[in-house]
Amino acid sequence: MKIGTRSNGDMMLGERETQVLHTIIGQYISTGEPVGSRTVAKYSGLSLSAATIRNIMLDLEEMGMLRQPHHSAGRIPTPKGFRYYVDHMLASPHLQASTRRRIEGGFTPPAVEMHDLIRQASRVLSRVSGHPAIVRAPRPVISLIRHIQFINIGADQILTVLVSTDGVVQNRFIKTDEPFTQDQLDKFSRYLNDLLKNLSLVEARQRVLAQMEAEKVLFDFMVSQSLTLIYKALQAVEDEELYVEGASQILDYPEFADIDKIRALLRAFEEKQQLIKLLDESLACAGVKIFISPETPFPEVEWSLVTSNFQRDQEPIGALGVIGPMRMNYGRVIPLVEFTANLMSGILNKWSRLPR
């Protein structure tokens, strides 16, 4: 197994410091409580006095590996300590045969369409890991925009038709706050075709955002409404790129008991874009990639994301991952993520070999 990580620099701990940190992290993962010197002495296997262990813990604290949440409490690992743990201490995890069979069972009956396969992967990964699972679907097949058309289908619903330069058509239904006539929608379409023709979906969204921020838009009703509608349509396309399963499981974590932290996590699941960016990083990374308390999308919460990409014809096309508290059991989660991603790659490669 290959793990892609963010480097902590070239600093390496000595043998005693390594064993003390390893013991504290192991105990903290198990209990969620600060770890004191007596506990370290009991479980570390080191023949050292409590005073010596306290001095080592103090050294680790000065290095930024540990912190003391309360004056009279023991220590808990910091994001830097966990990073060192997964980079240098974690042995190659092993997945039991029974767990493999359980994951494989989650892909039956066999999916025949991409969205069904992704739902199976997110569902089984969440159930087996006990954490929220997210899957980054392959980007939409629209390459470059050739034509945009708005169609009034009544009430507050508008059908947006996106046609690519290679003939692929995608339809998206969007809701509006006010009714528009078909004549108005045709004018919107003509304006947007001039603005967005031959752009990718990402470039189109960037162009729309730039135009929406331009001061002149505020004085032109037709331009403003056109941009608002196409922004909703492009957002609808992007919303289909991330599947989230088991978000309610964050309520089981003592670390996230604070209502503000729960709101931050749920908001990230809803807005999705920051999570998509993190999963996109794993597309360029071989093996498993681990994010430990990244600054985005919710810096006020200490959390981790374990990800891996899945491939078709040896080309990464999507990614999946598990979100949990920073003290998640990495030795258990990493092989779950890796095995599920490899299983998806195998299914996709079988699809590629089927006659068209």
Reported as a single tens digit per residue, the pLDDT across 163-189 is 888 777 777 888 888 888 899 999 999
Instruction: Say how far apart CA 113 and CA 164 lie, in whole Å.
Output: 21
CB within 8 A of 84, min separation 6: which ones?
8, 13, 21, 65
How confident is the model at residue 343, as a pLDDT?
A: 96
Asked whether the predicted pLDDT for residue 218 surpasses 60, the reply is no
Domain spans of the chain, in order of start: 3-89, 97-138+243-353, 145-239
pLDDT, residue 6, reads 43
277-298 burial: b if 16+ Cβ within 10 Å, else e? ebbbbbbebeebbbbbbbeebb
Rounded Cα distance between 243 and 116, Å, is 11
Coil vs helix vs strand at 174: strand
Query: Cβ atoms within 10 A of the Cβ of 91, count?
Result: 6
pLDDT of res. 7: 41
Q: In CATH, what number does 3-89 get?
A: 1.10.10.10
Instruction: Quick: pLDDT tens for 324-339.
Output: 999 999 999 999 999 9
The pLDDT-based confidence of 291 (bands split at 50, 70, 90) is: very high
189: burial class by Cβ within 10 Å (0-12, 13-18, 19+)? buried
pLDDT digits (tens, 9 = 90+) for 94-122: 899 999 999 999 999 998 888 889 999 99
Q: 39: which DSSP letter?
A: H
For 233-254, write each residue's pLDDT tens digit.
876 665 557 889 998 888 788 8
Q: Give how far the C-alpha of residue 112 lies from the chain's centroid of Cα atoms, to the nearest Å.
A: 24
| CATH architecture assignment, domain 145-239 | 2-Layer Sandwich (3.30)
pLDDT of residue 255: 78
Distance (Å, whole) CA 178 – CA 194? 24
pLDDT in tens, 59-70: 999 999 999 988
Confidence of residue 142 (pLDDT cuts 50, 70, 90): low
HSE-up of 115 (CA within 13 Å, CB side)? 4
| The predicted structure's pLDDT at residue 295 | 60
| C-alpha closest to that of 231 among 257, 211, 246, 247 | 211
Q: Give the DSSP letter of residue 323.
A: E
Q: Is 228 helix (H, G, I), strand (E, B) or coil?
A: helix
> Whole-number mean pLDDT of the chain?
85
| DSSP summary character for residue 75 | B
- Measured CA to CA, the distance from residue 274 to residue 297 in angstroms comes to 5
Q: What is the pLDDT of residues 264-288, one digit of tens each?
A: 777 777 777 778 888 888 888 888 9
For 46-52, the CB contacts below 8 A with 24+ separation are 46/16, 46/19, 46/20, 48/16
Q: 324 forms bridges with which residues in the sheet? A: 304
pLDDT of residue 3: 54
Q: What is the pLDDT of residues 5-15, one digit of tens each?
A: 444 455 789 99
pLDDT of 273 reads 74
CA quadruple 23, 27, 29, 32: dihedral positive or negative?
Answer: negative
Pick the CATH number of 97-138+243-353 from 3.40.50.720, 3.30.830.10, 3.40.50.300, 3.30.450.40: 3.30.450.40
Given a contact cutoff of 8 angstroms between Cβ atoms, the answer to whether 286 and 265 are in contact is: no
Identify the pLDDT of residue 166. 76
Spatial neighbors of 71 by CB under 8 A, at least 6 apart, are none
Written as six digits, the tokens of 341 are 């991603």
Burial class (CB in 10 A: 0-12, 13-18, 19+), 180: middle
Say if strands 288-292 and 157-164 run parallel, antiparallel, or are unpaired.
Answer: unpaired
